[in-house]
Amino acid sequence: MEKWDDVPHTKTDDAAKALYDRCEGQEHKSYCDLKSIRSKDELLAFLRYDYKKVLLRARYVYIDRLIDPNTMELTGGELDHAYFEPIFLCFPNLEFIGRLLFTGEIEWYVDDPKTGKILRRMLKQMGNGYTAYAEDLVQWHRHALAHEMRPDGKWRYDLNTKESYNSPKWGDDGKLYLNIPHFMDSCLFKIEEVCEQLTGNGADVMLRQFQRYVEKRFSNTPRKRSKRCCLADRG
């Protein structure tokens, strides 16, 4: 983590950081109420200084504080390690970012969320093994993790970095290998891509995308749907 680039200083980021600093320690932060966000400064404060923090903290708890810098392998016993917990955070994270990016392209509704379709689109954007195995990653994890069950048996997780730090790939044992630190970092980069748009020429477009997301997410009017529709139809 210490090798990552610093957040670039821009007028928008300075305003977002100042907003975060003013609200730090408060029980209620106005910019964390999605329905109250009206400016790119507020949206950036939420994404970069609060939302992203969830993954950063998880990475620290499960990886950074336990890594031996010489071997790049985890120290501690089994109770120190975790596998499902980071992934529980990664998939919802990607879903939320996907709804911001694709809310004008993928027709989703609160009662017809198209979660699988959005996750597959996000994974394919991440490139390499995430693109190649997007379908498998979503199919094996989406419902299993939501119901706290083990995913399909054709997988292998790893929290260590060393030479294993890479995107998903099939192993010699016939299982799909998923390096959790790489997955978490890839999710963090997707958040930063949105943040960079908010500090650049794409700020107005991204703010409108977010406002469209909020309108859909908190709409009280369900979409009329066929009686034959079931969970399997929700993408």
Per residue in 124-174, pLDDT (tens digit) is: 999 999 999 999 999 888 766 666 666 667 788 888 877 888 999 998 888
State pLDDT tens for residues 40-66. Answer: 999 999 999 999 999 999 999 988 999
pLDDT band at 230 (very low <50, low <70, confident <90, very high): very low
Closest CA to 92 of 117, 115, 112, 108: 115
Check whether 228 has a pLDDT greater than 50.
no
* Contact partners, residue 3, CB within 8 Å, separation at least 6: none
Using DSSP's 3-state secondary structure scheme, residue 82 falls into: coil
pLDDT more than 70, % of the chain: 87
pLDDT of 16 > 90? The answer is yes
Q: Give the length of the chain.
A: 235
Listed residue (122, 55, 56, 114) closest to 89, CA to CA: 55
Provide the Cα torsion 56, 91, 41, 39; round to 10°: -160
Instruction: For the chain, give every domain's residue range.
Output: 11-223
Residue with the bigger pLDDT between 209 and 5: it is 209
